[in-house]
Amino acid sequence: MRPPAYQLLADELRADITSGRLQPGERLPPEPELCVKTGVSRSTVREALRLLASQHLIVTTRGVTGGSFVAHPDAEQLAEALTTGFTLLTNSDGVGFADLLELRRALEVPAAGLAALRRDDDHLIEIRGALFDPAVDEFETMMEAHAAFHMAVAKATQNPLFELVVRPLYHAKFGEDVTENLPAGYWRQIDTDHRLILDCLMVRDAESATKAATQHIDYIAAVVR
């Protein structure tokens, strides 16, 4: 079955954007020009543009100088689509928490090493701000802080691809609650691991940072089922 005309036009414009033929901030052709160029109606063009806007690929503004412009990449917005995919997969029969930990290990261990080498003072402030106190903080607070800590470490690599891919790991929802029946002292150990990773980043010790990140994942894998 042939896709609708607006989908075909959106696919064509998306290809121009993702290939770099249309650069961030560049203005797309006006709607009348797109109508003439593609031979479709104004409503079809607008539907295609709405689709691209919903995917955070373009931004449309009104007024004399308005129009549709290629969006500047934003890790948080782009991660939304990845989060949906992660959630669908993690709720399927073929993907489980062990698979998530395997991916975390592949991403977060080298990210810790890169962050140790590339972080600046603002990164350290953000990472330190994501620490929690297991003696007084509630469960939800610690869960949110845990996610914020690892996303801040990914950001400190100064490689936006790490930030893009790591973020969905902490927003995807699992069909089963893997955080039930955690052993006593679990959050105290998580806090200890985070503080050790931060210490390694502060002194720019990439080797120790990767070792600490590995031990962190190993601990979670050993106790969370």
94 and 59 part of one domain:
no
Instruction: Identify which of 77-91, 93-107, 122-136 has the greatest average pLDDT.
Output: 122-136
Confidence of residue 79 (pLDDT cuts 50, 70, 90): low
Question: What CA–CA distances, in Å, run from 149 to 28, 167, 180, 193, 198?
Answer: 38, 11, 21, 11, 10
83 and 66 part of one domain:
no
Question: What CA–CA distances, in Å, run from 212 to 1, 59, 147?
Answer: 53, 42, 17
Confidence of residue 2 (pLDDT cuts 50, 70, 90): confident
Tell me which of 35, 54, 70 is where a domain ends.
Answer: 70
82 and 55 part of one domain:
no
- The residues near 83 (Cβ < 8 Å, ≥ 6 apart) are 167, 168, 171, 172
96 and 15 part of one domain:
no
What is the model's pLDDT at position 13? 94
Tally of structural domains, the chain: 2
Mean pLDDT confidence for 179-204: 93
Confidence of residue 173 (pLDDT cuts 50, 70, 90): low
Tell me which of 49, 70, 91 is where a domain ends.
Answer: 70
Tokens of 71: 């969006």
Instruction: Identify which of 24-38, 166-180, 197-211 has the greatest average pLDDT.
Output: 197-211
Q: Quick one: how far is CA 84 from the chain centroid?
A: 11
Confidence of residue 215 (pLDDT cuts 50, 70, 90): very high
Global pTM value: 0.72
pLDDT at 115 over 90: yes
42 and 84 part of one domain:
no
192 and 84 part of one domain:
yes
32 and 79 part of one domain:
no
Domain range for 93: 75-223
pLDDT at 11 over 80: yes
CATH number at residue 56: 1.10.10.10
Q: Is the dihedral of CA 99, 104, 109, 110 positive or negative?
A: positive
CATH number at residue 193: 1.20.120.530
Q: Are 194 and 179 in contact (CB under 8 A)?
A: no
186 and 104 part of one domain:
yes
Q: Give the mean pLDDT of the chain.
A: 89
Q: What are the φ and ψ backbone dihedral angles of 150, each rounded to 5 degrees?
A: -70, -30
Q: What share of the chain is helix, strand, coil (3-state, %, to 5)?
A: 65, 5, 30
150 and 45 part of one domain:
no
**Owner of token pair 């080797």:** 207
